[in-house]
Structure 1
Amino acid sequence: MAEIEGCAPLAVAATKRVINALDSHAQGFHLEMVEQFPLFTTEDSAIAIEARMKRRKPEWQGR
């Protein structure tokens, strides 16, 4: 649980929506794409990339 708490809040919320809506594997893959693709344009995505390059933990903003 502590590992999930340290993850990007927008990504965690998207993952929870996908898991809760699953009826089949095919539907799961589609929902994952629908939920995850927009996350690449968020501030948190840029924060994650910068943190990775600087080898530090990201400070999530939830945006």
Structure 2
Amino acid sequence: IAGQILAGIYVRELYAVGQQIQIGEIEGQIEEIGTVKTTLLTESGELVSVANRVLLEQRVSSH
């Protein structure tokens, strides 16, 4: 759990609400950065939750 909370802190430093990112097959605008997960809004209007740890461990493209 501590690792997930630390990941949330790092994600808040790297990304901002409103920023457009792509991680793997998922692309969307950051709607919320929570303690353990970040929520993205895709172009089709779908809300997708991504674990903050995933945002740190995988390649993320920022637009």
TM-score under structure 2 normalisation?
Answer: 0.29
Relative to total residues, which structure has the larger strand share, 1 or 2? 2
Relative to total residues, which structure has the larger helix share, 1 or 2? 1
Structure with greater Cα Rg:
1
TM-score under structure 1 normalisation?
Answer: 0.29
